Structure 1
Amino acid sequence: MYTTLNVIMMIIWLLSLPVMITGLVLVCIKKQRKNGLKTLGLGVFLFLSSLIVGVALVDKIKTDQITHNNEIATSSSTALIDIDNQGENVIHTPTEDTNDQVTKPEIKKSENNDGIGFLGWFLLVILTLFSLSTLYHYRQYKRKKHFEEQVSMLLSDVSPSNFSEASEMFPELDAYEYDYRLMRNEKLLGIQEYVTFISSKKTKPFGRLLITNQAVIFESPEKNERITWTQIASASITYQGCQINRRSGIAWNYEFNATPRFAAVVRILEKYH
């Protein structure tokens, strides 16, 4: 059993190396630094825990081997004495003593067969956590890849020369349908529902984000924010949210599950604004 667990620890130790390398790569990417630290921390934890447990298992295997060898040597010495007295023991040994001799090995065997033990459960928990974490990161990676492919498809045929042309690349949405009052010469180009405005306050406003050819608008029951494209220094968007850097003041951060069309509108307008 310990040999099998030691092999499992070796596998986890080897798998922790690419996890740490991936974490280091993500840390070097500014937008992925937070995820990189989490991945790196997970890799270090798996590396150290598997190393410590693996060393403990090797020591346990060596100790058990030495004990087993000593038991064999002792049994061999005792066997010679038992052979001389075998005839006498067979004649005079009561029936219940024979039963005890048969029962004691069985009891000892059952005591040794105690399942996978504490170390086994500990390793099983680590392996389960590692599997779940790997599955989660793989799912996030596939989701991001699929999202970027969809955005790229929407932008593949878009080649404007200025902001005005970029605003005409996507069909205008019906503002009346979305209960939005347009300003003069304003066109509603994109809308994102279920948006959380990230702030230092305890209460985080929850609402929607609208993109027009004039501004970026956040609407919620708690607050409404409007910033024109001339006031925006830069904007970036992923499948997890959006960050708007203003020319003056702190950046505005929003969390949401972005739709490919909304992301495409933000990126094309940000590029030519």
Structure 2
Amino acid sequence: MRRLTAILLAVSLLAGCSSSGLLSIPIINKAQYRDIPKIYRVQKGDTLYNISWAFGLDYKQVAEWNGIGPPYRLEIDQQIRLYPKPSDSKDSKPKPIVLTSLPKQEPRAAATKTTIPAKKATPTPTSAPAPGKWHWPAQGKLVGKFSPKTGNKGIQIAGAEGTPIRATTGGEVVYAGEGLRGYGKLIIIKHSTEYISAYAHNKEILVSEGQAIGSGEQIAVMGQTDTSKPMLHFEIRKGGNPIDPMKFLSQ
């Protein structure tokens, strides 16, 4: 799969145009309409889920803004609106900035170590389990914790290369690829209409998009794609917003 072009290049090019009325596009860490581009052009390998995830948006909102229904299929070069349609389009027709690459995101790790237990696979649930009932996605050492202050939107688990990566709970694979810079080989699983989990830096992806996954089922092997050492960057999001995985994982 062709990798997306660097957002930093887009930022530097657009920043030089600010004096002529164009907005510069920053690397965003949260969903605020003023911080994200108006339009994103779909690239090969993109899904509605990884686009929404990259910009911190709820995939259901993005689908509604673009009149896209399940199963949310996209076409290459399709322009995806990343903001609500204006209520009065007759009086206001601004030229949107079209972004053709997803923002680079750099998970940050904090220095801490906790032993993580192994879990066995269980059948796919009909809905997301309650907090405290989600399985740990990998064995290893917890070396980074969720921290909105430092921009860490998940947790980092360091371990041996090849360590099994498992689904934290049952769901459907909605993205499997390496099109988002900073995350290497990435898997995104939808557990319900509200909850999504993500697994980054994998050495090998063992599942495909559209595949149903059971809780605790192996989906990848640990690697170090787009990171300096073998580790898993793991996130849980609710309605597009990152939440602390430690509140959901079994203790």
Structure-2-length-normalised TM-score: 0.24
Structure-1-length-normalised TM-score: 0.23
Report which structure shows greater RCO (CA 8 Å, sep ≥6). Answer: 2
* Bigger radius of gyration: 1
